[in-house]
């Protein structure tokens, strides 16, 4: 199963001048590369038909389970161009593992980890010209799996498809590394005990869209979700994990309680901070603790982290009846130095002493 070979039906290329114009300012998620990878699955045949195809619309049966019951999962990882011209990816095996954890929760088939990494490599290799070299730029890879059996009974589909698409990306938040404001969701949750909060499935993001709109109406770029059962217990943002920094250098982040996504950036930052001698507490954190800590000076920084957002300083937490404002302390010093170390490893200016990088394309 893992020795599947990828067929290439047709190589297509956007004219170089058009591609270069896009790469100058790609934003996030606006443009897609020339190709995509597709692998099919059925209960009888397992994984088959691995192909690199021109990027384009999918023919999908209107009865497909994904369109009705949302049986879908996805991943997000980046490929970086290093100064020597090689292209690397950051901990792709961790994304492969997490995809399989999501697959298990959504009753989708597991994909061999090496096949996941190989699918990403195939796409990056053929679309290598799309990996930008500018500051804070990378190629964002979006592997995803959909259930595509045409059957309206409510049960796990017997057919699925795994695809990888990619978009050149700059900063997720426009305006560079500026502190963002986040809105404390009022009464709307993305996850609850026993639900799918720890899986990376489309449904969680669908649930976050309305609160995200409310956040935008209140002048905020992201929404912070608290636990649906326990009032005021912080989970995470719509698409990022959250860290607080204490004045003594201790990092504080909500524990993996089954409701939040186990972020690969989150895990990597914990390892980097601990290697520097910082204490990291993974435990229940409440909004009340955050408020009290900022008021008495014991909490001095806050940041969000994720593949798309990298590390983004938080300047304000807003709610109808209060506001936490880091004012001139944002962006915080530790926030920015962890950001520098992480992005330095990813782009090759800091030694990869943890062995986190996987080379997809060698230096020319
Ligand atoms: N939490 C949510 C809800 C996310 O969508 C993401 C992004 O993937 C993260 C956290 C951060 O995860 P990672 O660092 O693996 O990208
Ligand atoms: C990511 O960081 O990969 C995410 O999934 C966040 C967002 C773009 C959904």
Residue 14 sits in the same domain as residue 153: yes
Q: For position 2, what pLDDT does the model report? A: 61
pLDDT of res. 340: 94
Structure confidence at residue 316 as a pLDDT band (50, 70, 90): very high
User: Relative to the CA of 309, which ligand 2 atom is closest?
Assistant: 2
In this structure, the residues whose C-beta lies within 6 A of any atom of ligand 2 are: 76, 239, 306-308
Q: What is the pLDDT of residues 199-216, one digit of tens each?
A: 999 999 999 999 999 999
Which residue from 163, 155, 183, 63 is spatially nearest to 122, judged by alpha carbons? 163
CA–centroid distance, 310 to ligand 1, in Å, is 10
Examine residue 359 and state whether it is found in any structural domain, yes or no. Answer: no
Asked whether 324 and 290 are in contact (CB, 8 A), the reply is yes
Residue 106 lies in a domain: yes
Q: Residue 175: its pLDDT value, please?
A: 67
Boundary (domain end) residue, out of 147, 169, 191: 169
Q: Residue 17 falls within a domain, yes or no? A: yes
> Strand runs (DSSP E) across the chain, as ranges?
7-8, 35-42, 46-54, 72-74, 77-81, 87-90, 138-147, 159-169, 180-184, 222-226, 234-237, 241-246, 251-253, 280-282, 299-306, 310-319, 322-325, 357-361
**Are 145 and 215 members of one domain?**
no
Q: In the numeric block, which tokens belong to residue 180?
A: 């963002």
**Can you give the CATH number for the domain in which 45 is found?**
3.30.470.10
| Per-residue confidence (pLDDT) for residue 11, from 0 to 100 | 83
How confident is the model over 65-69, as a mean pLDDT?
Answer: 96
Tell me how many domains the chain contains. Answer: 2
pLDDT digits (tens, 9 = 90+) for 318-351: 999 999 998 877 799 999 999 999 999 999 999 9
Partners of residue 46 on adjacent β-strands: 42
Q: Is residue 345 part of a domain?
A: no
Number of H helices, E strands in the chain: 8, 18
In the predicted model, what is the mean pLDDT of residues 78-84?
95
Domain of 78, in residue numbers: 7-169
The whole-number average pLDDT for the span 293-317 is: 95
| Ligand 1, pocket-test mutation among 140, 196, 263, 309, most atoms within 8 A of CB | 263
Residue 171 Cα to ligand 2 midpoint, Å, equals 12
Inform me whether the pLDDT recorded for 152 exceeds 50. yes
Q: Which atom of ligand 2 sits closest to the CA of residue 74?
A: 5
**pTM metric for this prediction:** 0.96
Within-domain flag for 338: no
Q: Which pLDDT score is estimated for 177?
A: 80
Tell me which of 135 and 68 has the higher pLDDT.
Answer: 68
- Mutation to probe ligand 1, out of 306, 310, 346 (largest number of atoms < 8 A from CB): 306
Pocket test of ligand 2: the residue of 239, 240, 241, 342 to mutate, having most ligand atoms within 8 Å of its CB, is 239
Contact 201, 102 (CB under 8 A): yes
**How confident is the model over 189-199, as pLDDT tens digits?**
999 899 999 99
pLDDT for position 230: 76
- Rounded to an integer, the average pLDDT of 256-274 is 97
Structure tokens at 59: 């023919």
- Please give the pLDDT value at position 1: 45
Inside any domain, residue 343 = no
Q: Report the percentage of the chain scoring pLDDT > 90.
A: 90
What is the number of the ligand closest to the CA of 270?
1
* Residue 244 Cα to ligand 2 middle (Å): 20
Query: Is 310 within 8 Å of 342 (Cβ atoms)?
Result: yes
Report the chain's mean pLDDT, rounded to a whole number: 95
Pick from 140, 169, 198: which residue ends a domain? 169
Please list every protein residue whose CB sits less than 6 Å from any atom of ligand 1: 76, 236, 239-241, 261, 263-266, 306-307
Confidence tier at 166 by pLDDT (50, 70, 90): very high
pLDDT class of 68 with cuts at 50, 70, 90: very high
Q: Which of 98, 270, 307 to mutate to test the pocket of ligand 1 (most atoms within 8 A of CB)?
A: 307
Residues 6+ apart with CB under 8 A from 358: 88, 89, 91, 92, 93, 117
SS3 of residue 270 by DSSP: helix
Q: Read off the pLDDT of each residue in 296-316 and give the average, rounded to a whole number.
A: 95
Q: Mean per-residue pLDDT for 56-84?
A: 97
Residue 73, both tokens = 């999962």
| Nearest to 190, CA basis, from 204, 201, 211 | 204
pLDDT at 173: 73
The rounded percent of the chain whose pLDDT value lies above 70 is 99
């Amino acid at each position: 199963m893992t020795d599947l070979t990828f067929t290439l039906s047709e190589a297509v290329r956007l004219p170089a001048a058009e591609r270069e114009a896009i790469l100058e300012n790609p934003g996030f998620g606006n443009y897609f590369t020339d190709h995509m990878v597709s692998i099919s699955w059925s209960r009888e045949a397992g994984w088959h038909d691995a192909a690199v195809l021109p990027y384009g619309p999918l023919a999908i049966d209107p009865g497909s389970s994904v369109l009705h019951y949302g049986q879908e999962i996805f991943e997000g990882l980046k490929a970086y161009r290093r100064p020597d011209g090689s292209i690397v990816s950051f901990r792709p095996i961790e994304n492969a593992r997490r995809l399989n954890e999501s697959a298990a929760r959504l009753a989708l088939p597991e994909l061999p980890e090496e096949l996941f990494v190989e699918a990403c490599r195939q796409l990056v290799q053929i679309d290598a010209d799309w990996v930008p070299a500018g500051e804070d730029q990378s190629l964002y890879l979006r592997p995803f799996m959909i259930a595509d059996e045409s059957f309206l009974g409510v049960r796990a589909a017997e057919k699925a498809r795994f695809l990888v698409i990619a978009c050149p990306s700059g900063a997720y938040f426009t305006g560079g590394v500026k502190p963002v404001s986040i809105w404390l969701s009022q009464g709307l949750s993305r996850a609850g005990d026993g639900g799918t909060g720890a899986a990376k499935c489309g449904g969680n993001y669908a649930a976050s869209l309305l609160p995200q709109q409310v956040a935008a109406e209140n002048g905020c770029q992201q929404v912070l979700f608290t636990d649906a059962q326990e009032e005021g217990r912080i989970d995470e943002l719509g698409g990022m994990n959250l860290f607080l920094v204490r004045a003594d250098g201790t990092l504080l982040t909500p524990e993996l309680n089954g409701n939040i996504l186990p972020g690969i950036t989150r895990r990597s930052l914990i390892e980097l901070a601990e290697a520097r001698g910082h204490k990291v507490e993974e435990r229940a954190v409440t909004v009340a603790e955050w408020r009290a800590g900022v008021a008495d000076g014991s909490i001095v920084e806050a940041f969000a982290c994720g593949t798309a957002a990298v590390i983004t300083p938080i300047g304000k937490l807003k709610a109808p009846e209060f506001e936490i404002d880091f004012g001139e302390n944002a962006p915080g010093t530790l926030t920015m130095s962890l950001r520098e170390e992480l992005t330095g490893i990813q782009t090759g200016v800091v030694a990869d002493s943890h062995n986190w990088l996987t080379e997809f394309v060698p230096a020319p």
